[in-house]
Structure 1
Amino acid sequence: MRGPADREIEGQVTSPEGGETGRARPPGGKALLRLLSLLEEAGLNGQAEATLQRVLSPEGRAEFRARAARFTVAPPADLGAGPPGHPAPFTGDTQGGGGPAIAERYIAAAQRLGPPTTAGPQWRCLGPWTIPNGQTYGASRVNVSGRVSAIAIDPRRPDHLLCGSAHGGVWESLNRGASWAPRTDYAATLTVGALAFNPSDPRTVYCGTGEGNWWSYLGAGLLRSTDGGTTWATLCGAPFTGQGFYDLRVDHADGQRLLAATTEGLYTSNDGGVTWTQRRSGAHWSVTLAPPGAAAELLVGAADGVYRSVDGGVNWAADALPGAPASWNRLAVAIAPSNPEVAYVWGASGAASYLYRRAAGSWTQVASPPGVNTGQAWYDWFLAVSPDRDTQVYCGAIEVHRGDLSGTTWTWVNLTNKGTSGDSIHPDQHAIAFEPGRPDCLYVGNDGGLFRSDNRGLNWQHCNNGLIISEFEYLAQDYGSSRWLIGGTQDNGTQRWSGAAAWEHVADGDGGDCGVNRNDPRRVFHTYFGMSPERSESRGDWGSWAGIAPPVPPGEGSAFYPPFECSATTGDTVAMGGDALYIARNGGAWTRLVFPSAARSSALAIPDADSVYVGTTDGRLYRSTWSGTAWSGLVALTPPRTGAFLSDIFVQPSNTRRMWVTSRRVGGGRVFRSDDGGSTWTDCTAGLPTLPINAVEVDDRDPQRIWVAADLGVYQSLDGGASWTSFSNGLPNMFVGDLLFQPHARVLRVGTRNRGVWEIPVDGWMTRPQCGVQWSGNLGPNAEGRWFTHSWPATWHVVWTVMPTTPRPGAPQVSWTVRVERADAERVTYWMTVKNLTPQALTFEGRYCILSRY
């Protein structure tokens, strides 16, 4: 989704509506930048290179590398050489083994988690249940959720839908998408690439894990449901472990015959998916079958072209296309359901798109839809033919284009971006399905969720209520409120939560890191990708943002989502890290601090207004301090692990010698503690899964109690990192990207990809009120007095009672009123005016009852 920062990466602007115009985006687009950065951070550089080889042509790879240098993990070489161990991009996995070995590590970690138990506190979901006002490329707005990668509709019950989220699992609806329930939260992986009902017995449904478009390396095999998609179990791991599914088909005539198109090949099964035979190698994106009762023709779209089979998928022969390129970045195929003699091919190679139609046994090239952009064809691409018309075709890319053939003339309509009139939906299209028996009713899945049209795409209705699959990158909080968060989401902008199930969309574009001023929570910050911070003075209200970008010199880069922080305790210091560190104090101008040698920021901590710590993508750690008039140059601390991407830093405000850092780089320590301000480090990784660690939080009441977030799960230590246990009770097996602790409400929160935001009461919810005596007083006959008690957290719900301590039955003895003063952004003072209603002197107690800390 485009935002204000996109020109930085595109180098040119798009159409006035923000839609597709030729080659405005770089090859692979922002999606590829994000994916390769994620892989590089974890040291999976071999997987990054394999992905790049698969999705782009040699020319596209060269152009991508040139543009990506400003956003990759390693800073550009022309900024200077890093220290020994500085990672070079795409040079081999630190763990080796490729996709299967990576997937096995995640599968092993998932086995340690599992379904909820009744022991201890449990996580619960905060949504977003839906997000109104979501961004489109047209004038209209729409409710959104998150990235949908697959759709399947029950062939015998059209109101029964299954929806696959990229990393949010399988979801089921029994009312055409009006409401949803998650069905695979505790499977070995929540990555979904393909879904398919058995047409002859829809009680059987298959799910190909490992989303081919993105999360391919997390594939854990094939899942099967025998009750229509409500419960699932792993059917097979091999040969799909570490592979991503693009397509999955069940033969109409034989429900035991399945075909799978994956990142590594084309496979067939003749026993209902239990065992598989690889028929072709290399990336295969799309499989299509002739309709029931027709000749048993199969077509597949692969990296080396279109292939045809007439023996159930055992043997395949090339089906030549006139004027076709030698290789493809994406290729989709579709046989017309109403006429098996007609078929279509929709492909992308480099900057060009290709559309072919087969009739009377021969292929003819057709002019592509106008304005199609192929820059993200590897990521968002589909093809479908209307069930009842062999002359109507739907081509998905960034937008959905419908083509109608009349005679020899094609008419094209952009269905998803209506410009200044009509309803639009979110861009970046991944999946399409038609309701059985209603060819005018179709569903599409994209980066904004699931949408339905009842008139062949002319009008749309969102199906995103209860589809909780938003992809949060970062979170920030108001410490004075237990029900206020702001977070950046992938391709869906910045969202705000104030206690309701529906979150508020407060900024467009890509949502990056966020911050809240702890002294004045009306002042909040959000970022896009790149060095693009904005500030609001009204808690992030829509339209209240103003750009405050630091003065970044030409050619200087950053991580795709650079770290941004506000002071963790007092003060108004903010910082943002790119290839230099930028600090602003008390709303003043930015100060630029240069690294001693080339480095790229990856993590920040500001324990107080006078100290800033920055970690880098190659494991270095620096500190700058405020002298009273200026910020010091960056002082190097001892690296906890050379060459390891630092993902988070925590510096204890009450004792800045105690520090924690985490790393996403597998193959070594990923959680470290220093007790001497960063001079020496203790590796505290033992007991954690062999996965990237993304964030760390520390209990403000007990510095020995630590929580860390991994790619799967949250883990707790009660002994300063010496040992760890899972703290994931009730948390789905999902990617946990960010971690926040609300000290007053005593809740821990996570932002996930793609299962929204979750929270857990770290000590359990209060099961009974906590009561006590706070003060005592006395008053003379009929006198009135005033008492106060201060520094109570504003998040707490407290009831006050004044109770006489000398029994005098027969009539009321005291009356009192309670008034609340907001002492600061986080705490309140209670003022109690007490009146003695008797003619005698009176003693009494001021008693409190805490009903909730939340």
Structure 2
Amino acid sequence: GEIWTRNSVTIGDGIYKTTDGGQNWTNMGLANSERISSIKVNPNNTNEVFVGVLGALWSDSPDRGVYKTTDGGKTWEKVFYINATTGCSDLVMDPKNPSIMYASFWEFRRTAYSFSSGGENSALYKTTDGGKTWNKIHNGFPAGKLGRIAIAAAPSNPNILYSVIESEKDTDKGLYRSDDAGASWKRTNGDFGLVVRPFYFSRIVVDPKNPDIVLKAGLNGSLSRDGGKTFKDIGGGIHADVHDFWFDLHDSNRIYLCDDGGFYRSYDGGSIWDMSKGLPISQFYQVAVDNQTPFKVYGGLQDNGSWIGPSSKPGGIENRDWISVGAGDGFRTFPHPKDPNIVYSEMQGAENIWRINLEKNSAKTIKPFPEANDPKFRFNWNTPITTSPHNPDRLYVGSQFLHKSDDRGETWVKISPDLTTNDPAKQQQENSGGLSMDNSGAENHCTIFAINESPLDQNIIWIGTDDGNVQLTQDGGKTWTNVTANIPNLPKNTWAYFIEPSSFDKNTAYAVFTGYTSGDFKPYVYKTTDAGKTWKSIVSPDVKSFARNIKEDYKNPNLLFLGTEGGLYVTIDGGQNWSQFKNNMPPVAVHWIALHPTEDALVMATHGRGVIIVDDISPLRQLTKEIIAKDLHFFTTKPTKMAESGAFGGYARMGEFVGENPSSMAQIVYFLKSRHTFGKMSLEIFDQNDKKIADLAPGKSKGINYVDWNYSLKPPKVAKGKTLVFGGFQGPTVLPGTYKIKVTKGAKTYESNLNLIANPKSIHTAEDRKVQFETAMKLFNMSEELGYVVDQIDTYKIKIDSISPKLTTAKLKKQFPLADIAGKMQTLKETLVVLKGDNYVGAAEPQLREKISGLYGEVLSYTGRPTNAQLASMKVLEEKLNAAKSQMEGFKASLDKLAPAMVKAKMPELKVRSFEEYKAAEN
């Protein structure tokens, strides 16, 4: 769990251990800890570990304090505990004596509408006996209540300690230093960069070799080189909101830093920073898609603005393919339904809502403002803004009121009264923060959070509020009904996080509530079929995390997707049973789900792993209880649009993340009732003449299996030589058409069809493709025929070399001129393949093999008709190949004439394998 306790942080489920360098991890307990601040391993006994547990953010909890294990995590003992509201926010072990530790305890609490940092129980403690006893070390500390306390010990001199203290008086806040292992403290600095937002920036680290070099987290990060007397911003172009540092213990010029923008490295002590751009760790709040081809993805990022990026691109999706369309904390970001040049985005608390014209590169503020007699508008930190499925120019924005615009945000009208509880006790944000006032808008409350207009009736609008109301209008906002009281077993004031109107029935809707801001992590998911008069829970015990988002499939009303704090869940029976979706999907927080209306792609905004796309959900639409009962079932798949060879996609920059494209291959999808473990299982592809053209490795897992076929034949079997022939590494692409799939599982056989179609955007005619395929197959066969000629030469050479020592007289050599024939065959071989080189680059002019393979590769590289020059070149090469084959037949005839005499002389037969045997043999 995250220990920088902002409103959007996630929770953990305990402590994990690896014994193989991070390849595998095992949960070792402390399941209810939620947030672990520190882990300290005794360097003299690695089975002894101390853990600082900050604990629950939203509720009281006994699972806080300092825990200790002496058996490598099998059992744990709580060795220091204050109370249910105070957790261990930092734990430091003396670098030279593991029995000495320092633990800072912090009293804190966050609610949906407030935050409190500090209290009588916040303090810094020290143990000198391995955690048996603990004592406050406050000599020189500020008087009164304390808040969050950061602590660090200098590795090169453990008597030097640094602590950043949040206190009641602003003049007492700052950096304190001890030179006697905590016996006394002295305030050395109170710079703003050190004391700002202590709940969010409370990490201090010391250079392992120089006790006077200190780094402190903060808005920009601060660096001191004089023991804390003076600090300067780190600089170097890093992103704002620095949270943590780590010094390389062997080279303290190498520093690692993480902030709201990512992960950075410095190799010169912090002057210059290099961002690691290969980590997919972004935190998206919302995601949307458009109808372009390929479709684009829109989304808002935590403290990184709003962005648009492609769902696919030649060479993969790179960071530079994304376009910035917002600033601050990015939230709702989406395109105009009809005008691809118009995009809407916002920043936190509706501080700004923009209408962006991509073509003109302009951004106009369009947020609604109160009129003369209006009260102040209360906007949620994550303000809802959405379009109408009926009127492409209509927008809705929620404050405590619902605002509507029919002209893209130029003018707004209120179409509701205050739809929240309007509880004054929950609107005291100016007093939020505790010892350090903190009113960033994150605690704004009694606001609208969910807005959705029915796709079947524009007068039906559903509203959810963060203080627990579900409101419904069925007349476009003229009248409203609060249906919250009709929802059974829902704790009062539970956040109405998302409402999904059905695409099949205008009286049906789904509502997701989340109680995590009250410390309630149970999922609450309901369905109504009578416009909110009655509701039924549709969540089962299978769902292990609290939920944020639900999406109904557009084609199958029983297929629902649920975004939770612990990953994606799917139901195929309308919510009676749920299963976690695990097909390469991590158990990460899913904040938003978008379903593409035509491409069958499920797009998720995750908080920690960026945007994740499930490219094709159509098999899930077909899944039923009857199918699940079958041993094997093929799903009907859309015809595969065959990818065509393109131009050049370029190269990704070194170290950058490259997102995967949707598979361009044909996918064979089937369901297995149980994992195949014993006996043979095969998957074969047959053409229209029932000729087997491909063998694929079958998926054998229980559940849905995906097997990719690149709709190509196997590569040709080429002659061996001293250079690589890159053209010979690939097989011809088959023509569009219907192909048979056959799975053999033990004694049972299952069959289905696979349809390949030409790309609708292709510039090539069917006749062009036919000529290309026939030319490729001709060159394919030529490659194999040449390979067979060379194989015969090599076979004869081996056999003749074994016989030659027995031809000891001139008479025998004359009677059996084997060496002469072998020499002529070798001369022929020199015209067929390159025989000098390093098995990569040839050291001689290309010969017939290289020329055929080169031309073959050129023909394969272009989906359309080969050039006239290529067709003419093939004829020339074919003539040369025929001449070589004829010459080889002459050598064989000469050797066959010698066969009777060789048999009589009791010499081994000079036989070679057939062409079919050559092709069937392994390379």
Same fold per TM (> 0.5)? yes
Instruction: Name the structure 1 match of 2:299.
Output: 487
Instruction: Name the structure 1 match of 2:618.
Output: 763
Amino acid at match of 2:12: G
Report matched runs for 1:272-283 at 5 Å.
Answer: 272-282=72-82, 283=87
Instruction: Name the structure 2 match of 1:754.
Output: 608
Greater C-alpha radius of gyration = 2
Shift of 1:648: 2.0
Structure 1, 346-355 or 584-593: larger mean CA deviation: 346-355
The partner residue of 1:436 within 238, 243, 249 is 249
User: Quick check: 1:669–1:684 contact (8 Å CA) kept in 2?
Assistant: no
Instruction: Name the structure 1 match of 2:132.
Output: 314
Instruction: Name the structure 2 match of 1:647.
Output: 497
User: Quick check: 1:245–1:260 contact (8 Å CA) kept in 2?
Assistant: yes
- 1:343–1:653 Cα change, 3 Å: closer
Amino acid at match of 1:223: Y
User: Quick check: 1:515–1:564 contact (8 Å CA) kept in 2?
Assistant: no
Q: How far, CA to CA, are the matches of 1:711 and 1:655 in structure 2?
A: 29
Instruction: Name the structure 2 match of 1:225.
Output: 18
CA deviation map 1:384-424 (0-9, x unaligned) = 11112122222223332112228xx93321114xxxxxx32
Instruction: Name the structure 2 match of 1:241.
Output: 32
CA deviation map 1:633-662 (0-9, x unaligned) = 445567652744322222345642333332
Amino acid at match of 2:65: G
Percent identity over the alignment is 20
Amino acid at match of 1:268: K
Q: How far, CA to CA, are the matches of 2:128 and 2:16 in structure 1?
A: 28
Structure 1, 433-442 or 652-661: larger mean CA deviation: 652-661
Q: How far, CA to CA, are the matches of 1:568 and 1:319 in structure 2?
A: 63
Q: How far, CA to CA, are the matches of 2:200 and 2:126 in structure 1?
A: 24
The partner residue of 1:574 within 390, 395, 404 is 395
The partner residue of 2:338 within 480, 497, 519 is 519
Shift of 1:745: 0.7
Amino acid at match of 1:763: S
Amino acid at match of 1:262: V
Q: How far, CA to CA, are the matches of 2:380 and 2:308 in structure 1?
A: 24
User: Quick check: 2:568–2:587 contact (8 Å CA) kept in 1?
Assistant: no
Structure 1, 359-368 or 736-745: larger mean CA deviation: 359-368
Q: How far, CA to CA, are the matches of 1:540 and 1:438 in structure 2?
A: 50
Amino acid at match of 2:179: A
SS of the residue corresponding to residue 372 of structure 1 reads: helix
- 1:241–1:663 Cα change, 3 Å: closer
CA deviation map 1:139-167 (0-9, x unaligned) = xxxxxxxxxxxxxxxxxxxxxxxxxxxxx
SS of the residue corresponding to residue 535 of structure 1 reads: strand
Report matched runs for 1:396-795 at 5 Å.
Answer: 396-405=217-226, 410-416=229-235, 423-463=236-276, 465-498=277-310, 499=312, 500-502=317-319, 503-539=322-358, 544-552=362-370, 553-587=374-408, 588-595=410-417, 598-599=420-421, 600-607=447-454, 610-611=458-459, 612-617=461-466, 618-623=468-473, 625=475, 632-634=478-480, 641=487, 643=492, 644-652=494-502, 655-665=505-515, 670-686=524-540, 689=543, 691-760=545-614, 761-763=616-618, 769=640
CA deviation map 1:683-702 (0-9, x unaligned) = 43346526433222222223
Q: How far, CA to CA, are the matches of 1:481 and 1:616 in structure 2?
A: 36
Q: How far, CA to CA, are the matches of 2:583 and 2:359 in structure 1?
A: 33
SS of the residue corresponding to residue 231 of structure 2 reads: strand
CA deviation map 1:479-500 (0-9, x unaligned) = 3344311111112211221232
Q: How far, CA to CA, are the matches of 1:386 and 1:342 in structure 2?
A: 12
Q: Which segments of 5 or more consecutive residues in structure 1 lack a partner in the other structure? A: 1-190, 194-210, 417-422, 772-794, 805-854
Report matched runs for 1:279-294 at 5 Å.
Answer: 279-282=79-82, 283-292=87-96
Instruction: Name the structure 1 match of 2:148.
Output: 330
The partner residue of 2:100 within 285, 297, 322 is 297
User: TM-score of the superposition, structure 1-length normalised?
Assistant: 0.60
- 1:607–1:728 Cα change, 3 Å: farther
Aligned residues: 557
CA deviation map 1:358-385 (0-9, x unaligned) = 2256534233252236452122211111
CA deviation map 1:582-620 (0-9, x unaligned) = 000133410113336644312111235943332333232
User: Quick check: 1:331–1:345 contact (8 Å CA) kept in 2?
Assistant: yes
Instruction: Name the structure 2 match of 1:4.
Output: none
SS of the residue corresponding to residue 566 of structure 2 reads: coil
Amino acid at match of 2:266: S
Q: How far, CA to CA, are the matches of 2:287 and 2:261 in structure 1?
A: 19
CA deviation map 1:698-734 (0-9, x unaligned) = 2222333322222223333334444444344321111
- 1:640–1:426 Cα change, 3 Å: farther
SS of the residue corresponding to residue 299 of structure 1 reads: strand
Shift of 1:262: 1.4
Shift of 1:275: 2.4
User: Quick check: 1:345–1:355 contact (8 Å CA) kept in 2?
Assistant: yes
User: Quick check: 1:674–1:680 contact (8 Å CA) kept in 2?
Assistant: yes
Instruction: Name the structure 2 match of 1:255.
Output: 46
Q: How far, CA to CA, are the matches of 1:334 and 1:695 in structure 2?
A: 41
User: TM-score of the superposition, structure 2-length normalised?
Assistant: 0.56
- 1:481–1:375 Cα change, 3 Å: farther
User: Quick check: 2:260–2:303 contact (8 Å CA) kept in 1?
Assistant: yes
SS of the residue corresponding to residue 220 of structure 1 reads: coil
Instruction: Name the structure 1 match of 2:67.
Output: 267
SS of the residue corresponding to residue 424 of structure 1 reads: coil
Q: How far, CA to CA, are the matches of 1:415 and 1:219 in structure 2?
A: 31
SS of the residue corresponding to residue 362 of structure 2 reads: coil
Q: How far, CA to CA, are the matches of 1:358 and 1:299 in structure 2?
A: 13
Q: How far, CA to CA, are the matches of 2:452 and 2:294 in structure 1?
A: 22
Q: How far, CA to CA, are the matches of 1:376 and 1:696 in structure 2?
A: 34
Q: How far, CA to CA, are the matches of 2:415 and 2:391 in structure 1?
A: 22
Q: Which segments of 5 or more consecutive residues in structure 2 lack a partner in the other structure? A: 55-63, 107-121, 422-446, 620-635, 643-757, 768-923
Amino acid at match of 1:459: I
Q: How far, CA to CA, are the matches of 1:725 and 1:230 in structure 2?
A: 26
More helix by share: 2
User: Quick check: 1:225–1:232 contact (8 Å CA) kept in 2?
Assistant: yes
Q: How far, CA to CA, are the matches of 1:685 and 1:359 in structure 2?
A: 57
Shift of 1:766: 5.5
Higher RCO structure (Cα 8 Å, ≥6 apart): 1
Amino acid at match of 1:468: P
More strand by share: 1
Q: How far, CA to CA, are the matches of 2:414 and 2:255 in structure 1?
A: 52
Instruction: Name the structure 1 match of 2:777.
Output: none
CA RMSD, 1 decimal: 3.3
Amino acid at match of 1:444: L
Amino acid at match of 2:253: D
Shift of 1:799: 5.3
Amino acid at match of 2:413: T
User: Quick check: 1:516–1:566 contact (8 Å CA) kept in 2?
Assistant: no
Shift of 1:440: 1.5
- 1:638–1:360 Cα change, 3 Å: closer
CA deviation map 1:344-368 (0-9, x unaligned) = 2222224452322222565342332
Amino acid at match of 2:230: T
Instruction: Name the structure 1 match of 2:207.
Output: 386
- 1:559–1:314 Cα change, 3 Å: same
Q: How far, CA to CA, are the matches of 2:400 and 2:464 in structure 1?
A: 11
